[in-house]
Amino acid sequence: MPTSSIPFVPMVTDLSLSGLLWWALLGVTVIFAAHAAVASYHWLIYGSDRITSLLSIAIYVGVGAFLLLAMLATLALM
């Protein structure tokens, strides 16, 4: 399989399960980023306490990023 500039990320040009999972990871990353942006906006603008809002954003984005990185690592190990 040809590889992209990132060594372990294959160029997804086939319809193998692995290729589909890379596309799925890309899609879910975009969805999570959009959701996190909207949620963060609401918590910051409409929240009543700045510290609670910032803490919520940090926990939400941190855990989400950890899960996405774990998914990336899983695909890289395949």
Partner 1 sequence: MLFERIKLEDDEQILRIVRKHWWIIFTNVTGSVLLTLLPLVILVLADAFVSSVAIWEQFITPYVHEFVFGYLLWILVNWMIIANYWTDQYLDLWAVTNRRVVSIDQKGFFNRLISSFRLERLQDMNVTVSGIIPTLLNFGTIEAQTASSNSEDEFRAKQMPDPRGLKALIIRAADERQRSVSAVEALKQDGTL
Beta bridge partners of 3: 10
* 35 close to 65: Cβ distance less than 8 angstroms: no
70 makes contact with partner 1 (CB under 8 A): yes
58 makes contact with partner 1 (CB under 8 A): no
Residues 10-49 that bind partner 1 (CB under 8 A): 17, 21, 24-25, 28, 32, 35, 38-39, 42-49
Nearer to partner 1, 3 or 52 (CB): 52
Four-residue CA torsion sign, 39, 63, 8, 22: negative
- For residue 20, the SS3 value is helix
Residue 71: which of 23, 25, 39, 26 has the closest Cα?
Answer: 25
Q: Residue numbers of the site for partner 1 (CB under 8 A)? A: 17, 21, 24-25, 28, 32, 35, 38-39, 42-50, 52-53, 56, 60, 63-64, 67-68, 70-71, 74-75, 77-78
